[in-house]
A and B are shown apart, each in its own frame.
Chain A
Amino acid sequence: MLIIAETKRVLKNFMHTHPEMGTLEMEGNQNHSETDFAIRIGGEGGEGVISAGELFAQVAARTAYQVFTYITYPAEIKGGFSMIQIRIKHEKIYSMGSTVDYLIAFNQQAYDVTIKDLKPGGTLIYDPDEVEIKEDLNAECYPIKLTKLVVDATGAKLGKNVVALGALGHLFGVEFGVLEKLIKDRYGAKGGDVIKNNLNALKAGYFTAEEGNWEKKFKLVSDTQAKEHYMLISGNEAVALGAIAAGCRFVAGYPITPATPIFETLTDLMPKVGGRAIQLEDEIASLSACIGASFAGEKAITPTSGPGLQLMGEQLNLASMLELPLVIVDVQRGGPSTGLPTKTEQSDLKFAIYGTSGEAPRVILAPSSVEDCFYQTIRAFNISERLQMPVVVLTDQSIGYRKATVRMPDLSKIIEVDNSVSGETISIPSPEKIELASRIQMDPEKLNEYKRFLDTATGVSPITSPGLKGGQYLGGGLEHDETGKASYLPDNHLKMMRKRFKKLETLTHILEKNPPEYEGPEEAKIGVIGWGSTEGAIREARMLAEQRGILFRHLHPKILSPLPESQVRNFLAGLKQVIIVEENFTGQFAHFVKAKFGIKPIEIHKSEGVPITPEEIFTGIEKVARIVDEKNIARL
């Protein structure tokens, strides 16, 4: 019997603060427990806006605070609007937030596009030579001539971002030495002049802020323990690290925005752990190579985005037919066609679930945070190996490029599960425990009775890999019988279709045994269902709603297909209205849920290429709440 006993992810464990990590020095009368602010830097693509923001995030990550970044950038290398948002909080952060406390505008466009998001009483830092403030602002305004300062300091226009970094550093009480080291680490490889110019730019910004007497509201003090216990990684990096932690030692891929950083990270790291990374000529070849590697017995992964997943369709079918484990990660971007390559959307779900000729089972997973990208990738390998089936992990641009502080995984907690025995339990990977599964091998003593595609109670057939004498078999895309021999007999086709789909039922039964994957009070009459990267925004919307006396339950399944049906029914029980939140135009998950459960949810879609915010979700929920339970809602 194949049993993967799943335990609930204890998200709460990440919510507590870490008092052991040193104290936070504070100026003013801020309360530590209330610390939560967001900084946005906006400018033209190519001006280094994002790298300045990432460097600052790195400084912040080495304090007792948690950090969460959100990046949007144009598809072009130079030109177009580019911005980074950094949210800093004393506890775990779930979304980029709806508004910002600090806005750094490099140019007029950055100012025009984002000024509406600056909180009343917030701080605006802007280049007066570039930005004209047209309205009366309820904000503290600090002009800083970024271009002029950098030209004066270095003789060139390049390095406005470093001037801004210096100014920000001073504003948040970061010691100059800390910034200096950061610059040296980042640009060290580029040699003397680059370092010298960058340091001059840094100084120019730092001392302009000092001379301008910019008011310090917070002080970020670096904490050496934070460095040991936390990584500041993007969702894409988390996927790459998850694959390596899962024991994957083979990656084949083709660059595609916004999944390329997974592939770049893996091409760097894979050989460092003795694995193999190969760039191929297209996505079809990439998945083909993964099929070959998996056939040879290896755990294999290919990262891609929607258009690439589409090209992989036929090979995905083949992997399902050959019953080979492998993991495909689709970092979704705005579609259709070339669409919005650098923007976010959750619009590949239907393709991931159904998109192949014929009917070929596969499992769809959707991590909900940067940290979750790490653990769900490991889980994807476990499920894939145990079910001998391709698993598609759906992330998206926003989660892929977002950086967050993630607790360093404890490698002593990685346990490899015996792959010769079926029937043992495998837990959902979590910081407490990481179990690694691999495919159930055919007993070498019993090869005389070996049928590669033996129809078993779970649908999973023990497998052999090349090198094992007497284990040779034929695996093919043609319909075949239990031995692998091609067969077009009607009874056989039905039998083998049942066998392959039975594996999904096996997984469903396992998922049913999990504790419910929802949060929120039992008495709530409204239920919100989301998937993937919207989890944080929905969670924050729940906090906003609770402040207004609106209660809702929040279901956020990580495995989207197959769904644990009775779990979802339990969630739906007693609800008057269900809202499904997703970032696409047509409501893909809603279609799926409607078809499966016969409900009529209210759908909140956002299809603008940018993540949905807690306030947008709250606004929708509030409208629904007025219908559902008018008298319990606080009047606005």
Chain B
Amino acid sequence: MKKTLQDYKSIIEPVWCPGCGDYGILVSIQRALLNLDIDPENIVSVSGIGCSGRLSHFLNTYSLHGTHGRAVPTALGVKAAHPELTVFAVGGDGDGLGIGGGHIAHASRKNVDMNYLLIDNQIYGLTKGQTSPTSPLGVKTKTSPHGVFEDTLDAIPIFLSYDVSFVARANGVDPKSLTQILMEAISHKGMSIVYILSPCRTFPLLDAKGLKAILQPLPEDHPTDNKMVALERAYSDQPIYTGIFYQVQKPTLEDRLQNVITKVCDNTNGGDKYSLDKVLKSFA
């Protein structure tokens, strides 16, 4: 039976503020999955804390709404244990660039075949408006009442220097191009990060109109295998580019784990118990 968008919707109704960019992102994910015809029961979505953390509630997948900042290593565990699954990690700018920022470098080193959607609204929205690692310099928030005095983190160059094997930036309020990028990310074998700009209506630092004015797709001839060009364009702030900056093929965590098993596991003589017996005997 042919699937519909409904197959990817859970029975729980989204609870984001009216006009939140996350609605469009949710539909884009569902549409990308539908277009790729991935069975919902073979998808695991792990999310962190914050507005974006709720995303897993609304997908009809095996969904795990975990703790703040730990979506990436949790998703890594899922994928390492069951590589046949399609795995998502979802988090916001606080989750992925603040509390959980350290995990991304290491999941990238392992090239875990997961899709990490980092949804940036430049503010801690769920807790009603505190400074995030991407809040612009000088902006007044609840925890920077006299203006933000730190520099913002620039996510794309960070991911490029981690050698993440798929790095993209997307406009959260442009569902068509977002769906396209998500489909590429899901199809990519290895760690893919889609950094999605999503305006927060309640504490607006980004807005749809403003995004449209500053964002511009990468040139059509952008070479996705050239990291230096990718870095140069990643650092550009006028315009801010969207699209796939970089994509490279390298062994995934599953490939690496399987290589070790192939090298040392000898269960030719009766499977698991034979290998276990050999292991025990080695301690005699």
Residues of A near B46 (CB, < 8 A) are 292
> Contact: A289 with B73, CB < 8 Å?
yes
> Contact: B276 with A244, CB < 8 Å?
yes
The reply to whether the CB of B3 lies closer than 8 angstroms to some CB of chain A is no
> Contact: B283 with A241, CB < 8 Å?
yes
Q: How many Å from the CB of A480 to the closest CB on chain B?
A: 9
> Contact: A237 with B283, CB < 8 Å?
yes
User: Which bucket holds chain B's interface residue count?
Assistant: 35 or more
> Contact: A295 with B284, CB < 8 Å?
no
Given contacts A276-B81, A472-B60, contact A466 B280 (CB under 8 A): no
* Of the residues A269, A291, A474, contact of B279 by C-beta under 8 Å: A269
Residues of A near B281 (CB, < 8 A) are 408
Within 8 A of A (CB), among B257-277: 257, 260-261, 263-267, 272-273, 275-277
Find the A residue at minimum CB distance from B263.
Answer: A271
Find the A residue at minimum CB distance from B254.
Answer: A276
> Contact: A472 with B63, CB < 8 Å?
yes
> Contact: A295 with B70, CB < 8 Å?
no
Given contacts A233-B283, A288-B66, contact A271 B106 (CB under 8 A): no
Residues of A near B273 (CB, < 8 A) are 411, 414
> Contact: A293 with B80, CB < 8 Å?
yes
Residues of A near B261 (CB, < 8 A) are 271, 274-276
Distance, CA A468 to CA B41, complexed state (A): 6
The reply to whether the CB of A214 lies closer than 8 angstroms to some CB of chain B is no
Residues of B near A297 (CB, < 8 A) are 81-82
> Contact: B106 with A280, CB < 8 Å?
yes
Distance, CA A284 to CA B43, complexed state (A): 24
Within 8 A of B (CB), among A270-311: 271-276, 278, 280-282, 284-286, 288-298, 300
Find the A residue at minimum CB distance from B56.
Answer: A474
Residues of B near A467 (CB, < 8 A) are 41-42, 82, 84-85
Residues of A near B40 (CB, < 8 A) are 472
Find the B residue at minimum CB distance from A474.
Answer: B63
Find the B residue at minimum CB distance from A245.
Answer: B276
Within 8 A of B (CB), among A313-341: 314-315, 318, 322
> Contact: A288 with B257, CB < 8 Å?
no
> Contact: B82 with A274, CB < 8 Å?
no
Given contacts A297-B82, A475-B65, contact A292 B41 (CB under 8 A): no
Residues of B near A411 (CB, < 8 A) are 273, 276-277, 280
Residues of A near B280 (CB, < 8 A) are 231, 241, 408-409, 411
Distance, CA A161 to CA B146, complexed state (A): 67
Given contacts A472-B60, A474-B57, contact A288 B77 (CB under 8 A): yes
Distance, CA A233 to CA B105, complexed state (A): 37
> Contact: B272 with A274, CB < 8 Å?
yes
> Contact: B283 with A276, CB < 8 Å?
no
The reply to whether the CB of A252 lies closer than 8 angstroms to some CB of chain B is yes
The reply to whether the CB of A230 lies closer than 8 angstroms to some CB of chain B is yes
Within 8 A of B (CB), among A204-246: 227-228, 230-233, 237, 241, 244-245
Residues of B near A252 (CB, < 8 A) are 77, 80
Within 8 A of B (CB), among A452-474: 464-474
Residues of A near B85 (CB, < 8 A) are 296, 466-467
> Contact: A273 with B272, CB < 8 Å?
yes
Q: How many Å from the CB of B49 to the closest CB on chain A?
A: 8
Distance, CA A485 to CA B58, complexed state (A): 10
> Contact: A292 with B106, CB < 8 Å?
no
> Contact: B74 with A289, CB < 8 Å?
yes
Question: How many residues of chain A get a CB closer than 8 Å to chain B's CBs?
Answer: 63
Find the B residue at minimum CB distance from A273.
Answer: B275
The reply to whether the CB of B12 lies closer than 8 angstroms to some CB of chain A is yes
* Of the residues A244, A278, A295, contact of B64 by C-beta under 8 Å: A295
* Of the residues A232, A469, A477, contact of B39 by C-beta under 8 Å: A469
> Contact: A272 with B41, CB < 8 Å?
no
Find the B residue at minimum CB distance from A406.
Answer: B283
Residues of B near A15 (CB, < 8 A) are none
* Of the residues A232, A280, A292, contact of B81 by C-beta under 8 Å: A292
Distance, CA A575 to CA B43, complexed state (A): 59
The reply to whether the CB of B26 lies closer than 8 angstroms to some CB of chain A is no
> Contact: B73 with A285, CB < 8 Å?
yes
Residues of B near A471 (CB, < 8 A) are 41, 62
Q: How many Å from the CB of A280 to the closest CB on chain B?
A: 6
Given contacts A250-B81, A273-B265, contact A408 B74 (CB under 8 A): no
Distance, CA A278 to CA B252, complexed state (A): 13
Distance, CA A471 to CA B82, complexed state (A): 16
Distance, CA A269 to CA B42, complexed state (A): 29
Against A, the Cβ 8 Å flags (1 = close, 0 = not) of B150-192 are 0000000000000000000000000000000000000000000
Q: How many Å from the CB of B34 to the closest CB on chain A?
A: 16
The reply to whether the CB of A151 lies closer than 8 angstroms to some CB of chain B is no
Q: How many Å from the CB of B165 to the closest CB on chain A?
A: 18
Q: How many Å from the CB of A288 to the closest CB on chain B?
A: 4
The reply to whether the CB of A573 lies closer than 8 angstroms to some CB of chain B is no
The reply to whether the CB of B75 lies closer than 8 angstroms to some CB of chain A is yes
The reply to whether the CB of A476 lies closer than 8 angstroms to some CB of chain B is yes
Distance, CA A465 to CA B102, complexed state (A): 29
Find the A residue at minimum CB distance from B79.
Answer: A292
The reply to whether the CB of A486 lies closer than 8 angstroms to some CB of chain B is yes
The reply to whether the CB of B25 lies closer than 8 angstroms to some CB of chain A is no
> Contact: B67 with A485, CB < 8 Å?
no
Distance, CA A318 to CA B40, complexed state (A): 24
* Of the residues B74, B264, B276, contact of A291 by C-beta under 8 Å: B74
The reply to whether the CB of B103 lies closer than 8 angstroms to some CB of chain A is yes
Residues of A near B106 (CB, < 8 A) are 280-281, 285
> Contact: B279 with A241, CB < 8 Å?
yes
Distance, CA A232 to CA B281, complexed state (A): 11
> Contact: B257 with A278, CB < 8 Å?
yes
The reply to whether the CB of A478 lies closer than 8 angstroms to some CB of chain B is yes
Q: How many Å from the CB of B191 to the closest CB on chain A?
A: 14
> Contact: B279 with A273, CB < 8 Å?
yes
The reply to whether the CB of B278 lies closer than 8 angstroms to some CB of chain A is yes
> Contact: B78 with A272, CB < 8 Å?
no
> Contact: A289 with B275, CB < 8 Å?
no
Within 8 A of A (CB), among B74-101: 74-82, 84-85
* Of the residues A288, A322, A470, contact of B41 by C-beta under 8 Å: A470
Q: Which 9 A-B pairs have the closest CB atoms?
A: A292-B77, A289-B77, A476-B65, A285-B73, A293-B81, A288-B73, A292-B78, A231-B283, A281-B106
- Partner-B contacts on A (CB < 8 A): 227-228, 230-233, 237, 241, 244-245, 250, 252, 269, 271-276, 278, 280-282, 284-286, 288-298, 300, 314-315, 318, 322, 408-409, 411, 414, 464-478, 485-486
- Partner-A contacts on B (CB < 8 A): 10, 12, 39-44, 46, 56-57, 60-67, 70, 73-82, 84-85, 102-103, 105-106, 110, 253, 257, 260-261, 263-267, 272-273, 275-281, 283-284
**17 residue pairs A–B, Cβ–Cβ below 8 Å:** A227-B284, A228-B284, A272-B266, A281-B102, A285-B76, A293-B77, A293-B80, A295-B44, A298-B81, A314-B67, A411-B276, A469-B39, A472-B62, A474-B10, A474-B12, A475-B64, A478-B65
Q: 13 more A-B contacts (CB under 8 A) besides A269-B279, A295-B78, A475-B63?
A: A227-B284, A231-B284, A271-B257, A271-B263, A271-B265, A272-B265, A276-B81, A290-B77, A291-B64, A292-B73, A466-B42, A472-B63, A474-B10
